[in-house]
Amino acid sequence: MLHRIALSLFLFWFVFQTNAAEPVDQRVDQLLGQMTLDEKLDYIGGVHAMSIRAVPRLGLPEILMTDGPLGVRRDKPSTRYPAGAAVAATWNRGLAEKEGVAMGRDCRARGIHVLLAPGVNIHRVSMCGRNFEYISGEDPFLASQLVVPFIRGVQSQGVVATIKHFAANNQETNRDHINVIVDERALREIYLPAFEAAVRTAGVGAVMDAYNKVNGQHCTENEFLNEHVLKGEWDFQGVLMSDWGATHSLIGPVKHGLDLEMPSGVWMNRKNLMQALQSHQISEDEINQKVRRILRMIVQMQFLDRPQQDTSIPQNDPASAQTALEIAREGIVLLKNKNAVLPLNAATTHKIAVFGVDADPGVPAGWGSSFLQPFYAISVLDGVRHHTEAQVDYFDVGVGSFQRSVFEHPEHSGEQGLKGEYFDNLTLSGKPILSRTDQNIDFEWGRDKGRLPSKFTVRWTGFIRPTASGTHVFRARSDAGIRVFLDGQTIINSWADHAARPDVATRTLQAGKRYRIRIEYKNIGGGGAIAQFGWASLEVPDAAKDYDVAVVCAGFDEGTEGEGFDRTFGLPDSQNELITRVAEKNPKTVVVLNCGGNVDMRPWLKQVSALIHAWYPGQEGGNAVAEILFGQTNPSGKLPVTFEEQKEDNPAYRWYPTSDGGKSVRYGEGIFVGYRGCDHNGIQPLFPFGYGLSYTRFEYSDLKVEPEADSIKVSFAIRNAGDRAGAEVAQLYVEPVKPSVERPIKELKGFEKVLLQPGESKELSITLDKRAFAYFDPTSKNWRSDPGQYDIAVGASSRNIKLRKRITVDFRTEK
């Protein structure tokens, strides 16, 4: 018996080793030749919402996919990394690769084959709900330089990376059907370079088509993007999949490059495909090519040759947590520091007041497929308390906390909480199926609602009793409907079905007076169920002036910024008023912003002493912010986007979000996105692209420009002229002097991040190739590098040029 088992194991090992050693294409042809037509037709439609189906008789396993750009999301806790925008703000290629490696390990710990990341869509306007996800910012060169190491990091761990969303998915408003009208030059120079780098330089294994249309065709059936550019020019050999539910027909996607419809074969299924084959609308060879690409990915990544799950990697991996902390540290951008109020002096800082909805608990994050629950999260309040011996007090002012709001029971005198009545219908009628006291309304039931049916309603009743007179904030968030009544008057009415979103109202209340409160909620079934409500005073106590510093954590969160909707430019939930009131009481007010990009800062920027942009900083965000506040980390982040003073200053705002009756959006700004557009239009930004302060000073000198055979070598020196160690991002821009065609005044074409000790100097070197001087000529369909004069400009931001030298170049057309 033991002999037979040993022989069987030997034979299995022999076949395994023999198959693994076979050339990739030979193994792919062998598998494809063994598949039946039915199996092939089934294979190009996803299964189980996040998988490529298994074919057990051929030894093909189920290929598991996972969201997302901020961590490995599979409905279980995982490491929550900072937002992609924070990665872009690090300007650190090595750190981007380190994050890719960490996410790849997180996938292997869970047996995941395909990571649906990174996202690299350009930040065209600040309001795009998914800007926070994207490792791109507004500049295609910066995006390309960071996405390549990230992809290489992921795939080095035996996990397929997926570049998304291809292409021009730059807003969430009407994303499913909006027709993006964009000229080819803008596509080539602004919106496609990061995808090109992912394919041609990083060798990304998968590409995800976007929801929107580009120039009249949905991306999942866009012949120009998928066939001509991606699979033609760039010779992409991997798998082209749809975004979830982004496929809108059968023949177009089959004919124009889509290999895999996700999350299932709604269109590309066995029945539809067989009918199309029989009517000769498509060919079996077209099906074979799609299956071949999927099989090639599986074979190349050795998914047939080893278990995908690596049990030696902990799911709560300390290495991943450390990477998340490092990105948060380097991604934070110091935007204002009046009178050097930061870093805080431990000897003179004895009392710290903390305010704001984003201060505690946990750390905020944007909503959507990238959202995940971390194993733990360090809030700013926690971080500050962990990093100082000073007295730290939190003021629940203007927050309307879902966890801390206080209610009085309507029937039991002296008891806190609300009377909750749960009904198994959508009309709040009949006898409740459940009656109980709920201390707070902070429910995210998910798919498992316990004793609750799929469709249900809830009525909560009770009283509130303010402790201060003045303005109060009432904040509700729900999926699918909620309404709030104060003393019988409707103050929030969001009863129509909708995805999770916030609703805010303000009312003037008197201290000590009791007000009757009623909250009604409905869930229509399917997906999650969310009901949250809180209230708070907006009156900042006079005691705030007695603190050495006030820290206000403001911005957005998963209720106000995320997938499926574009956010406002102004801060939500009366936060502008909160910041203003705190600053009036305490002249040393520091604002910490959490969001995916720029916001309207005009109501309060001049009144505050310091401003930190922390993006969505991940599970270690509170520690990273505290390190910046106390100077344990010297801020080194630089803006990957231009921060305009008002939204109307954005070069694309004139055409956002729709044109032509709401069915299309015209990219009328062309190539003049972000800093390119501000320069072109003569607009002074609030904070320019590449901007970020430090606690030390840097000096630039000794610019040298040396022509070589097919490139230009640029070198210069940087010196830390301050008294503490710090890192600087030196940025190189190319400026055509008298271009033959309309071009941006300057374009980023190189950068280096360097850490210097006090007094230390280093020489940096950057090589510029032909493409650094090129523009796309839509007439000849080529990249052209016109001979002529160019300025080589080196500086600390796009508007802070330290060194400049004019050269003459004579590069010819580059294909």
State the catalytic residues. Answer: 243
Backbone angles phi, psi at 578, to 5 degrees: -60, -50
Q: Give the CA distances from residue 327 to residues 68, 105, 622, 636, 692, in Å, rounded to whole numbers and listed in that order.
A: 17, 17, 13, 11, 16
The contacts of residue 342 (CB under 8 Å, 6+ apart) are 334, 590, 610, 612, 628, 629, 631, 695
Tokens of 36: 């039946």
CA 792 from centre of chain: 32
d(CA 292, CA 269): 17
State the amino acid at position 380 in one-letter form.
V
Count of C-beta atoms within a 10 Å radius of residue 232:
12
> For the purposes of burial, counting CB atoms within 10 Å of the CB of 130, is it exposed (0-12), middle (13-18) or buried (19 or more)?
buried
Give the three-class secondary structure for 715: strand
DSSP state letter for 719:
E
Q: In what order do the strands lie in the sheet with 549-555?
A: 333-337, 610-613, 589-594, 549-555, 351-355, 391-395
Give the three-class secondary structure for 147: helix
Give kind and range of the element (H or E) at residue 575. Answer: helix 575-585
Task: Annotate 499-533 with b (16+ C-beta within 10 A) or e (fewer).
Answer: bbbbbbbbeebeeeeebebbbbbbbeeeeebbbbb
Q: Do the Cβ atoms of 113 and 301 come closer than 8 Å? A: yes
CA 369, 375, 381, 382: dihedral to nearest 10 degrees? Answer: -160
Give the three-class secondary structure for 90: helix
The contacts of residue 616 (CB under 8 Å, 6+ apart) are 70, 82, 83, 85, 86, 132, 363, 364, 365, 366, 594, 595, 596
d(CA 581, CA 470): 13
State the amino acid at position 712 in one-letter form.
I
Q: Do the Cβ atoms of 502 and 439 come closer than 8 Å? A: no
Q: Do the Cβ atoms of 88 and 69 come closer than 8 Å? A: no
DSSP state letter for 755:
E
d(CA 159, CA 155): 5
d(CA 620, CA 183): 42
CA 271 from centre of chain: 37
CA 67 from centre of chain: 12
Task: Annotate 711-730 with b (16+ C-beta within 10 A) or e (fewer).
Answer: ebebebbbbbebeeebbbbb
Q: Do the Cβ atoms of 580 and 619 come closer than 8 Å? A: no
- Please, what is the angle between helix 284-300 and helix 24-34, to 10°? 130
d(CA 526, CA 523): 9
Backbone angles phi, psi at 606, to 5 degrees: -70, -20
Q: Do the Cβ atoms of 143 and 193 come closer than 8 Å? A: yes
Cis peptide bond N-terminal to 263, omega within 30: yes
Q: Which residue, among 39, 28, 23, 27, has the nearest Cα to 284 in the 3D structure?
A: 39
